[in-house]
Amino acid sequence: MATIHGCTQKTIQVTSSHSSPCATANPTVQSKSSVELALLFGTDAIKAAMDTIKRQIAMLDSTSTAQLINLGTDAAVQTAQASGKHLIPEDRTMMETYLRDEMVPAIRQNPTCFTGSSLSTSHFDVERIFIAPSQALEIVITNSGQDEAEAEIFIRQFVNGSERARSQGSLTLGPGLSRSVFATSAHLPISEVLNGTAILMLVVSISYHPEPNGKRVELNEAWQYDISYNRFILVPMNQSATTLLPKQGNPT
């Protein structure tokens, strides 16, 4: 594992396996910009950006670089803010530049090699979303961390920008495990979604404690059904999602 040494005495680990062929990806993550970002955002935020980009490429290899940058930046900003970091617009711009110039090209070159260390013992993600044979919406939640944890799940469903339904629940997942949760589709025009005449978007919020006695964090992701791929794809919260969605309020 390669390490990054910042200006402080701390050693920041944000890199990949050193075995061939992954070694070619190492130089891209040892730059000055990556060290500055790790200090500004925190290593968990850098890892969140990595994981989001890798997950999107695995789901849809043709995802544009611009969309990968937006998704990764959203993940990094959310994680940093949840951990108490106070960011300014210039910080987001710096992250976008780093993802465009260094992280995204490195992950595309060696997607299975590029990994990062995380301080969290639990880390929840939406693995994928699909329409089940019963036409219910199935959301697969995974805990990629190293410890069991409980999470609160809140799901909002939008059709053509209008909220149609919302649901919530909780689950407990051990490390490396996944579980499906189902959202009702009774009020959704599934047939119209499948033929492309209606746009369906889900906003999924996952609230959990990364550390047993740590501060609760919340992950927010927007997923939209794309008829050209016949699947839900992850879309940036700050662009595609917000063009369709009204301003979100707190769950009731």
pLDDT digits (tens, 9 = 90+) for 66-96: 999 999 999 999 888 887 888 988 999 999 9
Instruction: Select 124-244's CATH number: 1.10.10.60, 2.30.130.30, 2.40.160.60, 2.60.40.10.
Output: 2.60.40.10
pLDDT attached to residue 82: 83
Residue 7: what pLDDT? 30
* pLDDT tens digit sequence for 32-64: 456 678 778 887 888 889 889 988 888 888 889
242 pLDDT exceeds 50? no
Q: With contact defined as beta carbons under 8 Å apart, do 237 and 220 qualify? A: yes
The pLDDT value given to residue 97: 92
Name the pTM for this structure: 0.61
Each domain of the chain, given as residue ranges in start order, spans: 4-109, 124-244
The pLDDT of residue 207: 92
The pLDDT of residue 235 is above 80: yes
Give the chain's mean pLDDT.
Answer: 77
Q: pLDDT band at 19, cuts 50/70/90?
A: very low
DSSP 8-state code for residue 101? I
Reading the block at residue 134, the tokens are: 């019963």
Contacts of 209 (CB under 8 A, 6+ apart): 122, 149, 150, 215, 216, 217
3-class SS shares of the chain: helix, strand, coil, % to 5:
35, 30, 40
